Amino acid sequence: MTRPDAAWLAPRLEQAIGEMAAAVAAAPADAPVATCPGWDVRGLVAHLVGVHRWAGAIILTGEQQSTPEPAVPEDELADWYARSATALLAALRAVEPDQEGWTLVGAQPQRAAFWWRRQLHEVTVHTVDVLLATGRGSEATVEPAVAADGVDEVLTMWPHRLRQRGLRVVLPGPVEVSATDTGDRWLLIPGEGVPAVSRPDGPSGSAGADRVAGPAVELYLRLWARGGDDVEVAGAAAVGWLAGPVVP
């Protein structure tokens, strides 16, 4: 799997936004969101609107911004969300994907294209949250290729962000992560500060590495603590890694 570009991400972000709006429209605003303790659906939507506005401002200015706290309407949450998401898409389309600008992790080079990917997974994961909150988790649909990219983001980006927040990934030993349906594989090696991540070729089963394996969507949900019951976890290092902070 190669890193997806904006042309690949754009229609998928549009679709994810539509699915989020539909999920919110069908959900009671006061339904508790167990996967985001302390939030109900209204609070989750307010968070996501704030994230979209924050990301849009960063994209347009290229500079770090403070996170806004939007005034939340009493009703019509889905329409409110859709309008904010439309503004995010407009900001993303207003700049070239390779335009330089601030990103979460400070990696070089920092490009606007980062936000196409980050917002896709922000929306996808929170759509799952809304569906789970209303007992409709089985209706969550994530394209395997999107899930595989989300796994890649978790493994390659979030360890740096966790370190910025004073946390660190717990990796007692090498762990291979394998998406059994898409063929994507990652090898995590304990490193200084953050794990080293490579993409091994050949058959699954890196020598000396513990194993986390399953369909890409199941891996994605497991890493975000939204499910993933069909994931195989083999070895103490794999168990220890998943028990520690993997995402914020």
Task: Specify the pLDDT at position 75.
Answer: 82
Instruction: Give phi and psi for 185, each to the nearest 5.
Output: -140, 145
Asked, for residue 248, whether it belongs to a domain, the answer is no
Same domain, 87 and 118: yes
Q: Has residue 47 got a pLDDT over 70?
A: yes
The average pLDDT across 96-109 equals 85
Q: Has residue 40 got a pLDDT over 70?
A: yes
Asked, for residue 1, whether it belongs to a domain, the answer is no
Domain span at residue 94 reads 6-140
Q: Is the pTM of this model over 0.75?
A: yes
Place of tokens 């914020």: 248
Nearest residue to 130 via CA among 50, 44, 52, 46: 44
Contacts by 214-218, CB closer than 8 A, 24 or more apart: 214/178, 214/179, 214/180, 215/144, 215/147, 215/179, 215/180, 215/181, 216/144, 216/145, 216/147, 216/148, 216/151, 216/179, 216/181, 216/182, 216/184, 217/142, 217/144, 217/147
Q: What is the CATH number of the domain that holds 172?
A: 3.30.1050
Same domain, 102 and 166: no
Counted domains in the chain: 2
Q: Return the beta strands (E) in 69-159 as ranges.
A: none
Asked, for residue 29, whether it belongs to a domain, the answer is yes
From 82, 115, 140, give the residue that closes a domain. 140
49-53, 57-61, 64-68, 119-123: least confident range: 64-68
Place of tokens 């229609």: 11
Pairing relationship of beta strands 232-234 and 185-189 according to DSSP bridges: unpaired
Please state, in angstroms and rounded to a whole number, the distance separating the CA atoms of residues 1 and 134: 34
Q: Has residue 1 got a pLDDT over 70?
A: no
Q: Residue 107 CB: number of other CB atoms within 10 A?
A: 12
Asked, for residue 181, whether it belongs to a domain, the answer is yes
The average pLDDT across 146-167 equals 94
Same domain, 178 and 104: no
Task: Specify the pLDDT at position 192.
Answer: 84
Q: Distance between alpha carbon 148 and the CA centroid of its chain, in Å?
A: 11
The 232-234 sheet, strands edge to edge: 196-198, 185-189, 175-179, 210-214, 232-234
178-224 per-position pLDDT tens digit? 999 999 999 999 988 899 999 988 666 677 899 999 999 999 999 99
Same domain, 114 and 199: no
User: Which DSSP category does 36 fall into?
Assistant: S
Angle among Cα 205, 117, 125 to the nearest 5 degrees reads 80
Same domain, 22 and 118: yes
The average pLDDT across 20-45 equals 97
Same domain, 49 and 100: yes
- pLDDT above 70: percentage of residues in the chain: 96
Nearest residue to 176 via CA among 207, 218, 153, 221: 207
Same domain, 154 and 71: no
Same domain, 136 and 184: no
Same domain, 149 and 30: no
From 140, 158, 177, give the residue that closes a domain. 140
Same domain, 121 and 159: no
Q: What is the CATH number of the domain that holds 17?
A: 1.20.120.450
Asked, for residue 231, whether it belongs to a domain, the answer is yes
Instruction: Give phi and psi for 234, each to the nearest 5.
Output: -125, 120
Same domain, 18 and 133: yes
Residues paired with residue 234 on neighbouring β-strands, in sequence order: 211
- pLDDT above 90: percentage of residues in the chain: 82
Asked, for residue 161, whether it belongs to a domain, the answer is yes
Same domain, 178 and 157: yes
Three-state SS at 153 = helix
From 140, 172, 194, give the residue that closes a domain. 140
